[in-house]
Amino acid sequence: MIAEIGHAALWLAAALAILQMVSGALALREAEGAPSPYALYARPAAVVQAFLAVLAFGTLLYSFAVTDLSVKLVATNSHSMKPFLYKLTGTWGNHEGSMLLWVAVLALSGGLLAFAERRLPERTMSATLAVQGFVAMGFYVFLLFSSNPFERLPVPALEGVGLNPLLQDIGLAVHPPTLYVGYVGLSVAFSLAMGALITKAVNPNFAKVMRPWVLGAWVFLTFGITAGSYWAYYELGWGGWWFWDPVENASLMPWLAATALLHSVSVLAACDALRTWTIMLGVVAFSMSMLGTFLVRSGVLTSVHAFAVDPERGTLLLILLALYIGGSLTIFALRASSIAEGKRFTATSREGALVFNNVMLCAILAIVLLGTLYPLLTEAFDVRVSVGPPYFNPVGAIFAIPMFVVMAVGPLLRWKDDKVARVQPELAVLAAVALLVIALVVFLGDYPLLPILGLALASALALAAFLPLRGRKLTRVPTATWGMVVAHFGVAVALFGMASEGAFTEERLAAVSPGGAEEIGGWTVQLESVDPVSGPNWTAIEARISASRSGSEPVILAPQARNFWSPPQATSESALLTRWDGQLYAVIGDGAGIGPDGQQRWQLRVWWKPFVTFIWYGGVLVAMGGILSFIGRLQVDLRRRKAARLGAERRMDQAALALSRTATEPAE
């Protein structure tokens, strides 16, 4: 019965999405400024739709929690003996459940927008809700007709198949939901951009409404990508933190577009500039999230992330992709000329620096997009091409390096107009720091060029991040400014980690018998034993490895080679030893035969990765900077609303006082 309740709620939510779309669109037929009866339906439809979509997802979550094996999705993606946490995360560890989570977050965001937002003109809000309803309707159609998560089995299964072992990790509880919230936040920003474009209301007030949605989406995307990177790093056992996998790129592309959009909408809100550019980036950001959804959910890619393999689903997603992206670009082409030009600024201003970096971000986005789609296009002609780090790293660096340079300088410039000569002392200090780091690294050894430049830029960026605070009383610095400082410092920290890992990583691959040892990065790593172990739904061989450095007390690492039995799959569980200056990363492999001493030998792979953890520390700092900026903008908004309310009350009191004086004056 629970599954039927969820299915019915999903149908009702789809009907309300249609009502929201139609009523919002009909409200636009009225003359500007004239009240429309249709506008009264869009907001309630969005709010009730949010409740029903969340209810539908809640029923599926309950079905997984109790392992209802009469539901086909549960039977094919769960198991009664699976740990409870993975029963819950299994709800979205599959195609249908993940799409239902997407729709639930989408409806919840639309309901929140309809319920809480009162700053936009009603006509613009009607257009926004109509677009949001149109976006939601497409996904409801996709779920109900192609990916029904509530389908029942004719006869309940005796036992479930289980969840992909690679997904049986706490990372599944964090990574997909945060990414989905980020994607959906971009859908709201897209709806706002389209609503403002349709009603010709692209102005700073619209940007102030749009900015928190973009900022929130960007924060969640940052957290999601950071968590996903670390999850893949320790779970897959290959020792890397980013492989330029197409599915990784599918999450990176919306983040790049959202980063450019965030800076653009901030300029529009503060300076009434970049109007057309902001709308275009709103379309591009949502287009990238839709493209990522298509790549992951259509069956085009084969990956641990990619759940769908049904061509029918891929076709339907492709139709939605064409409708959303093609329709929005058509509207943009027809309406872009109606957007009034914003205020002008010089190239040597903070706005100029932001525009330059936005162009660089878009160029990097184009590089990632080309590298992701090109192998898929060639494969359609039976030509297999692999595009990986040898393409992405050097080509991306062509645009990333000048972007980081301008990122260090931009916050030092004034709005609208400035002279580079005014900040020459600061530029000289930053250049000196970068050159000093380059000289030091070159002196220490022969390292690749890109990591050397990365270390130099990271050092200069770390210093530049705090330069906007010079000469200011720190207790009076706005929270939003602190957010910018923390986010930019986080970029420097992450870049330092990436460059250090690329320059200084050491690796050892050896066949080792118990008692054998290897030296790596100043560490002595000794294999003490290899023993069989078991878990709730797996068996494994577990190595006991002793690691010590410079005579310190040994630390025990326990990597495993697991074999899951439901479903059958072998995985490698790495063991990590974290220190302030890096991580020791160990993986145990299969048996490697008998050694000269007559003992069994085992494949042991160990990496020493200096400062690799700074990559994820930096990602967290970037997201925390976004949160501080969000809080700062909220504080400013609340102060303005309070001031406006007090001003209105003061005017009302003055009017009442004037009226009372008039009433008490004696008649002549």
Place of tokens 């474009």: 197
pLDDT at 305 over 50: no
Lowest mean pLDDT among 172-186, 431-445, 490-504: 172-186
pLDDT of residue 381: 82
pLDDT confidence bin for 311, thresholds 50/70/90: low
pLDDT of residue 461: 97
588 close to 559: Cβ distance less than 8 angstroms: yes
pLDDT of residue 299: 61
Lowest mean pLDDT among 10-19, 77-86, 346-355, 464-473: 77-86
pLDDT of residue 103: 94
pLDDT at 392 over 70: yes
Would the CATH topology of 1-165 be identical to that of 506-611?
no
H helix or E strand, kind and range, residue 534: strand 523-534
pLDDT at 294 over 90: no
Lowest mean pLDDT among 59-68, 301-310, 594-603: 301-310
pLDDT at 133 over 90: yes
Lowest mean pLDDT among 2-16, 335-349, 351-365, 382-396: 335-349
pLDDT confidence bin for 656, thresholds 50/70/90: confident
Residues 6+ apart with CB under 8 A from 454: 495, 496, 498, 499, 502, 503
H-type helices in 344-478, by residue range?
A: 350-379, 389-409, 424-444, 449-466
Segment 350-365, tens digit of pLDDT:
999 999 999 999 999 9
Tell me the whole-structure pTM to 2 decimals.
Answer: 0.93
54 close to 101: Cβ distance less than 8 angstroms: no
pLDDT confidence bin for 118, thresholds 50/70/90: confident
pLDDT at 57 over 50: yes
Lowest mean pLDDT among 151-165, 190-204, 246-260: 151-165
Could you say which architecture CATH assigns to the domain 1-165? Up-down Bundle (1.20)
Q: What tokens appear for 163 in the block?
A: 């969840």
Angle at 370 between CA 365 and CA 374, to 5 degrees: 160
pLDDT of residue 169: 83
pLDDT of residue 308: 47
335 close to 405: Cβ distance less than 8 angstroms: no
pLDDT of residue 304: 47
pLDDT at 584 over 70: yes
Could you say which architecture CATH assigns to the domain 506-611? Sandwich (2.60)
Across the range 553-558, mean pLDDT stands at 94
Please report, for the chain, the start and end positions of each structural domain, with discontinuous segments joined by +.
1-165, 506-611
Q: How many CA atoms lie within 13 A of 578 on its CB side?
A: 7
Backbone dihedral region of 515: left (phi > 0), alpha (psi from -120 to 50 degrees) or beta? left
pLDDT confidence bin for 336, thresholds 50/70/90: confident
pLDDT at 170 over 90: no
pLDDT of residue 300: 65
d(CA 363, CA 31): 41
d(CA 516, CA 495): 36
Q: How many CA atoms lie within 13 A of 431 on its CB side?
A: 6
Q: What type of residue is 199?
A: T
pLDDT at 149 over 80: yes
d(CA 345, CA 446): 44
Buried b (16+ CB within 10 A) or exposed e, 449-480: ebbbbbbbbbbbbbbbbebbeeeeeeeeeebb
Secondary structure (3-state) at 58: helix
Across the range 87-92, mean pLDDT stands at 92
d(CA 545, CA 133): 56
Across the range 628-646, mean pLDDT stands at 85
More confident residue, 98 or 169: 98
Secondary structure (3-state) at 212: helix
pLDDT at 378 over 90: no
pLDDT of residue 73: 95
414 close to 433: Cβ distance less than 8 angstroms: no
Across the range 330-346, mean pLDDT stands at 86
Across the range 26-49, mean pLDDT stands at 81
More confident residue, 79 or 402: 402
pLDDT at 146 over 60: yes
pLDDT confidence bin for 668, thresholds 50/70/90: very low
pLDDT confidence bin for 21, thresholds 50/70/90: very high
pLDDT of residue 306: 47
pLDDT of residue 298: 66
- What mean pLDDT value characterizes the chain? 90
Across the range 246-274, mean pLDDT stands at 93
pLDDT at 13 over 70: yes
- Kindly report the length of the chain: 668
d(CA 517, CA 524): 7
Q: What percent of the chain has pLDDT over 70?
A: 96
d(CA 394, CA 448): 11
pLDDT confidence bin for 450, thresholds 50/70/90: very high
pLDDT at 278 over 90: yes
pLDDT of residue 33: 59
Segment 94-103, tens digit of pLDDT:
889 999 999 9
Place of tokens 């990590």: 576
Lowest mean pLDDT among 8-17, 289-298, 480-489: 289-298
